[in-house]
Each structure stands twice: as structure tokens, then as C-alpha cells.
Amino acid sequence: MNIRTNILLRVYLAFGLIVIFAAAVVVQLCRVQFVQGKKWKAMADSMSTRYVNVEAARGNIFSVDGSLLATSVPEYELHMDMLAGGIAEDKVFYQKVDSLAMKLSQFFGDKSATYYSRMLRDARSDSSRYELIRRTVSYQDLKQIRKFPIFNMGKYKGGLIVVAKNKRILPFRSLAARTIGYKNENIKNPVGLEGAYSNYINGENGKRLMQRIAGNVWIPVNNDEEEEITAKDGSDIISTIDVNFQDVAERALKKQLIKSQADHGCVILMEVATGEIRAIANYTKVADGEYAEKLNYAISESAEPGSTFKLATYMTAIEQHKIDTNTLVDCEGGQTKLYNKIIRDSHLGNNVITVMTAFEKSSNVAAAKLIYQHYKDNPSQFTDQLYSYHLNDKLGLQIPGEGQPLIKTPKSKSWSPLSLPQIAYGYESKLTPLQTLTFYNAVANNGKMIAPLFVREIRNLGNTVEHFQARVINHKICSDVTLSKVKVMLNNVVEYGSGKTTVRSDLYKVAGKTGTAQVADGKLGYKNKVYQSSFCGYFPANHPKYSLIVVINKPLGAYYGAEVAGPVFRELADRVFARDLDVNQNSTLRLVGNTQMPKPKLGDRKAAAEVYTKLGIKPLYASNNAATTGVDTSNGIAMDDVKYKNGYVPDVTGMGLSDALYVLGNAGYKVGVRGSGTVTKQSAIGGSYMPKGTKILIELQ
């Protein structure tokens, strides 16, 4: 083969390979264009456009009286497309840019017109399609800005790009802020109503189509209903909070915290019959004289309750017939020793006193000795009764963060011979303030224990989605007889005992109990003498409408519950009494001064006569119905003995509880009691025949 043939062969081979390669390219182009066209087009679109979530407007949170506690308001972020159709020509842009800069400077007042002009011109030089103008503007501001030069050319020509956002605001600012809570994606555990009911409040997010431009910047595509999914706003929450009571509660608590220089404290106001929380305040010391809501101590801080726990102690012993209100106990001068531990009363000097007096004076010695005496051989009998009150169970609140209660039993690892007497006066147990209040509320609610409510209703577009009512925890925590006795004990604490000086009111009756507990201070334990002061009760005592607890931790100086927590209780109760007409109308006002003769109660004539004589009042021995007998009662009180025949029911209407129980008991009948005050009704009419042993229900008011 000659050289020429060899060269031609190589040329033909190379040319053939080029043709084959070109053909392969053409085939592949056709394949990409026609066979795989849809696939690659979709991929291209996904690289340059995408849908992003449009946050829905969150639902509102209202107070029980319709006031707005939390709401979402629209806010807007402003950007500008420097190459928009209306300003594509330099002449149009540069003719109006200075006017726009002047308007922006005057409207926002933060930078000069020269600064804005230079910023816009630089953005134009960089061909920016998404230049940030302002991070946050309101809707009212936006309406004005749309009228500025260039921007008034229209949505597409003027280049103004508006990105809508929602901002959560609290119209009452810090009022009930911790209970309202907040939404934060970075926090795992929900906070307050915002967190607990986020599924309702959040709504459903929409979709917005965004397009990527030069510089890896994403801008919204022109609004088109076919390309966007509209967000659905969230549902509204109707809370149980009353803004007026909440305001008073926060003010009263903060004032006392500042006065006592305490570390933190809380207040809870609950409606007795419904369990609805009308006010709940929590403050933590952040600096000298400054307090802020940081933690919800009312529902989360589980601590030794102190003397407020004595209500459960005495209720248990009375219910199990171990003691009665007139049982005597020797307080040994206010100090006793059990298992090498000295138990002291806050005020020494008490010797032999009744259970009623011991409760009024909040004697630790009396509570410890009585419980130890009657339960030392069978402590489970005592703790089992406490468990029957559900004091060891969480309340199952509508908002998260409830603290775990603790009621020890003989099976507990930390149980010791001292546990029984110490539990009796409020130590070696743990309850949150709301758990303690719920127990007291049950007493005010005639024995029915109900779970507290923070949310009454959920609404969407004005229609009720879900309605909440009180969940019954315990239908009857104790018998009516025991209930009537502990009610009198709680009333006497305020009338004659430790709550008399700071809590008692001349306008309405209050029932409750003071509490002073020494609390552990970190690693130092109880060495630092740090205290928790509290008062828990309800009012008006004769017709309970509200229950209330005040807890103040680590006060400096005075630390007794009556001195520190009592004034907060009284101030809030006074304001509630003044505002709530229902409470005013159903309460018997105290009369100041001897304006009229006291109303007589039926009972033993000899005993009553002795009391009246001591008071300087003349007893008139005639029928109680003085109006029909013609007895002149202007200078005395008409009275007579109660007489009854064997086998016939005595008429006890008008008597006090002790006399009614005495008369019916002597007549051979069992007695059930409801209410407090004087007897207004009895299930068996006086004078009717009933066999002995029959149970007769009496109602007192």
C-alpha cells in the first residue's frame, strides 16, 4: 500500500468518526428535547422556582370578659426590583429616584435623603432585583408608601415587592404573659396557652411561589390565585382570665414582693363552682426592686406547703373519728420532742388547748402530737386518707408544666419515724400552689374537688369548636359533718386566729389558713433559715364564690404567712368583692357597732341566758315568736327552751350547728350537714314522727 492510499484511509476513518459523533449528538438532542423534555423542564423549573410556606395568622386569645390578650397583626417587609418594567429606562428611574429618596427619609426619619438616594442608585448599578428597603412596616405605613414616587406606578411597574408576615403582640403587654405563653420553634416544650393549644391557634399555612434570580436571591412571583394556596387563620381561644382581677393580682403581688424583698411569689384566684382561673400572677426578682414574669411558679413549683397542709391533717383525723374540734391537746408550752427532734410552735406559750384553738393558732406541736398519737401504730391509715383526696396526683391541667406532688407513705424509701408527725404540719410533702388551692376550693365547693380551668372555649370564625367544663376529680372529699367542722375551723382562723389582723374584713367573711414553711436553700439545706409564706382560703365564707392563694418565697425580715401573704390576699379579695356585684348581693355585710340586738338562736335556755347576761342583754323568757305573744323585745331578747317528745323530730331551724347537732343527737337521730351558719331547712319537719336512727339532713346558711 502506497503512502497516498494510507493517508486517504486515515482521512476517511477520521471523517467517519466525526459523522458518527455528530449523528449521536443529534439523536441525543432529539431524545432530550422530545422524549425527556418534560422531565428536564420540570427539573429546570424546580431549580429556579419553588413554593414556600406562607404563615397563617394565628388565632386570638381572649379574656373571659372579651378583652384581647394576644393577637397577630400583619407586618410587611419591603424590597425593590431595580429592573421593573416601569423603570427599565434609566431616564425614568433617575428622574424620580431623588423624589423617592426624599419621601423615604421624611417618612422613616432614620437616614438622610442623600443616603437613600445613594443606596437606590448603587442598587440600580448592581442590577439588584430584590433590594431591601425596610425590614418591618405596618399596614397603615404600607398604604402611605405605595403613594411614593416610582412605587405609585403600580405593583408591576414600580418595582415594590411586599412580603407579608405576622407579628404576635400582647395588647396588655406583660399582663398574664406567662399564662398566655409564646410560640418558639427552638423550644421543645410548649409554654402557656400559646404552646398547649398551638394546634388550634396556628391555623394552616399557605403556599407562595418564589423565583430564584441572579445572586441566588429568591423573590415572590407575581401574585396569582392559581399558583398560590391561601393560608387559613387559626382558631380563637377564650380563656378564663379576667383582666381586671389579673391587673389587681399582679399589682398587689409585686407591691408586697418589693416590700419584703422576696425572691419570687405567685397569686391564683379561682372561681369556686366552675374551677375557672380568674387571675394568676408569677414574679421573679431580677434586680433590687425589680420583678418580672419568668417562671410559672403557681403551677410548677412543688414545695413543702407548711401549715396550709394542716387542713388535710385535721380533716383526716376528724373524718376517721380520731379527734373532734373540742378534743384537748397538751402543747407543752409550744415545744415538744419526738425522736430526738424538737418541734416548736411559731409562738410559744400554748399548753392544754382544744383542736379548734390549735388550728386557729397554727400549732405545729398540736398537729404533730395528735397525728403521732392516733396513727403511730398504723401510719398507712393516715396516708391512705390523704391519697383519697388525690393530693398525690397531678391535676391534669390544660397548660403544660405542672409540678409533681409528693405525699409519702410508709412504703417510701425516705420514710422515717419522724415522717408521720412532720407530714402532719406540712413537711416531707410537696404540693404546688395550685394543687393546694384546688384542695381548699373543694372545701368551699361543699366537698367537690374539680380540676382548674384556664380555657373556657375554642372558636373558629365565631362558631364554637370545643367547650370546656370542670372535670370532677373527687365528688366528695369527706362527709358533710366533717366538712362543716373544718369550715368553722377555717373561718375561725380569720375571725380569732392567725389571720385576724391582716385578712379579716368588716365587709365580708373570709375563711382560710396561714402557712409558714422553712424551705431548703440549695446545698445549704435548712441552715440559712429561708421561709415560704402563704395564705390560702375562700370568700365570702358564708357563700363562697372565689378561692385564693398567695405564696411568697424567701422574704427578708418578717416571714409569717399572715404578715407577708395576708395583705396580698386581703387587697385582692377587697377589690374582687367591690367589683363583683354577685358577691356583694349574696354576702351578709358586717355591721360596725351595736346598731341592733343580736339575732337569737334556738338552743339551751340556760346557756344562752348566761351568754346574754355577760353581754348585758336582758333575756325575756317567752316564746321565740315574740310578735304573736306580745312580749316587748325592745329591751331584751325573747327566748325559750327547745322542747320535743320522744320519737318526734325536734324543730332545729334557727339554731347554730352545735345546738342543732346536740338536740337531734339527743333525740336519737343521725345528722347530715350542708352549708354553714344557722339552720334554715331540715329534711324531716319538726314535730313529725320518725324512728330513732333515721338520718336527717339539715341545711345551714
Distance between CA 201 and CA 193 in Å, rounded? 9
**For residue range 559-583, what is the model confidence (pLDDT) as tens digits?**
999 999 999 999 999 999 988 877 7
Domain 52-239 belongs to what architecture?
Alpha-Beta Complex (3.90)
Distance between CA 504 and CA 13 in Å, rounded? 115
The residue that leads in pLDDT, 88 or 646, is 88
Q: What is the dihedral of CA 174, 179, 184, 189, to 10 degrees?
A: 150
* CB hemisphere CA count around 260 (13 angstroms): 31
Per the CB < 8 A criterion, the answer to whether 534 and 305 are in contact is yes
* CB hemisphere CA count around 265 (13 angstroms): 36
Looking at 38-52, 116-130, 291-305, 390-404, which range is the least confident one? Answer: 38-52
The residue that leads in pLDDT, 696 or 273, is 273
Query: Is 584's pLDDT higher than 80?
Result: no
Q: Which fold has domain 244-586?
A: Beta-lactamase (3.40.710)
Per the CB < 8 A criterion, the answer to whether 394 and 315 are in contact is no
pLDDT tier for residue 260 given thresholds of 50, 70 and 90: very high
pLDDT tier for residue 422 given thresholds of 50, 70 and 90: very high
Query: Is 518's pLDDT higher than 80?
Result: yes
pLDDT at 419: 95
Per the CB < 8 A criterion, the answer to whether 55 and 205 are in contact is yes
pLDDT at 16: 82
For 585, phi and psi rounded to 5 degrees?
A: -75, -30
**For residue range 359-373, what is the model confidence (pLDDT) as tens digits?**
999 999 999 999 999
Which residues of 242-355 form beta strands (DSSP E)? 264-271, 277-287, 290-292, 328-330, 335-338, 341-344, 352-354
Per the CB < 8 A criterion, the answer to whether 166 and 202 are in contact is no
- Across 91-99, average pLDDT: 91
pLDDT tier for residue 628 given thresholds of 50, 70 and 90: very low
The residue that leads in pLDDT, 617 or 157, is 157
Query: What is the identity of the amino acid at 189?
Result: N
Q: Which three cell numbers stand for residue 401?
A: 408544666
pLDDT at 650: 83
Size of the chain, expressed as the number of residues it contains: 701
Per the CB < 8 A criterion, the answer to whether 565 and 456 are in contact is no
Please report which residue ranges of 75-168 form alpha helices under DSSP H: 90-108, 113-125, 139-145
For 552, phi and psi rounded to 5 degrees?
A: -125, 125
Q: Which three cell numbers stand for residue 85?
A: 418594567
Looking at 344-358, 506-520, 677-691, which range is the least confident one? Answer: 677-691
The residue that leads in pLDDT, 640 or 205, is 205
pLDDT tier for residue 639 given thresholds of 50, 70 and 90: low
The radius of gyration computed from the CA coordinates of the chain, to the nearest angstrom, equals 39
Question: 132 forms bridges with which residues in the sheet?
Answer: 79
**C-alpha of 74 from chain center:** 29
Q: Kind and range of the H or E element at 48?
A: helix 37-48
Query: Is 614's pLDDT higher than 90?
Result: no
Locate the domains of the chain by residue range.
3-35, 52-239, 244-586, 605-700
Domain 605-700 belongs to what architecture?
2-Layer Sandwich (3.30)
Q: Which three cell numbers stand for residue 625?
A: 315568736
Reported pTM? 0.71
Please report which residue ranges of 126-242 form alpha helices under DSSP H: 139-145, 177-180, 192-196, 198-201
Give the 3-state DSSP-derived string for 205-225, with helices as H, strands as E and coil as C. Answer: CEEEEEEEECCCEEEECCCCH
| Pairing of the two strands 670-675 and 695-700 | parallel
In the predicted model, what is the mean pLDDT of the chain?
84
Other CB atoms closer than 10 Å to residue 482's CB: what's the count? 22
pLDDT at 634: 44
Of 152, 179, 80, nearest to 401 by C-alpha is 179
pLDDT at 623: 41
Per the CB < 8 A criterion, the answer to whether 365 and 331 are in contact is yes
